[in-house]
Amino acid sequence: MQIYKNIDKCLLKILLIFLVFVSSESFSQSGLINIKSKEELILSDFTKIISSKSDSLKEIYNSEILSYFTQILEDDLAFDYKFDTLKNYVSILFSDDNLLKVYTWGVSLSNGEYKYYGFLQHRNKKKVKSTIYSLSDKSKEIENPEMELLTNENWYGALYYELITTKSGKKKYYTLLGWDGNNDFSTKKIIEVLTFNGSEKPKFGSSFEIEKKKSKRVIFEYNTQAKMTLSFNSEANTIVFDHLSPSDPKFEGMYQYYGPDFSYDGLKFDDGFWIYLPDLDIRNKKE
């Protein structure tokens, strides 16, 4: 009789495990269906923004996008979801440690300027639960953006296209390379360092010193018709960028007249800081 009792207990455990598994799978499938349906709604709103000439209508459609994204990101399944149908509208970056996912996009305005939106999805170290932070673009209100420590609530907006994960001691540094359409006359590119403090709150800003100029972030501004290189070379572990200068010395400080001067500088991460490397010879070195 004892043998049958033990068998019954084993069968009960197997049944419970099976029911938990089935329930979990069913919940996951339901969650994915919900994400996909809202992804379609977001895609529809983006196409409306592209075709609209009214800033007020763009704002309405974008508000819907923000609402749908907020609902989606409440589900932890969203962290591993690719959002492939949105790749032409939203930049989505993953950190190498699989703890951070960054969403950004921009909306062009009728005056030639852009406004940026986004979210941070940050996992705890056990990769079980993620916290969502909405990014509020306050670029126009930040008087001295190169010198300010910022948060997700007063963010220097940009469309991020590259995410570099580094570590010094126990601290993680997420360096973001971004683009800003700025206006009809000049474009900006940005190097932004994101960290999370002890209470896991996001902080934007680090210590840079380029050509004796100290800053919390690096902002390059140049003529909108020019093309500037700003990218990370993983082999050399170096951020490489075009050196910018005015087309004529009389335009010094007038950044709509700046462009690449066929020389290159760089930054290399060391002990929590990005160290400036002037005059890189990229012809003979993979930097």
Greater model confidence, 75 or 258: 258
Distance CA 242, CA 263 (A): 6
Cβ–Cβ contacts within 10 Å for residue 19, how many?
10
CA neighbor of 215 nearest in space, from 135, 156, 280? 156
Tell me the whole-structure pTM to 2 decimals.
0.88
Chain centre to alpha carbon of residue 14: 44
CA neighbor of 191 nearest in space, from 222, 156, 226, 143? 156
Cβ–Cβ contacts within 10 Å for residue 255, how many?
20
Give per-residue pLDDT as tens, 26-79: 435 667 888 999 999 999 999 999 999 999 999 999 999 999 999 999 998 999
Give per-residue pLDDT as tens, 3-15: 444 545 555 555 4
The predicted structure's pLDDT at residue 21: 44
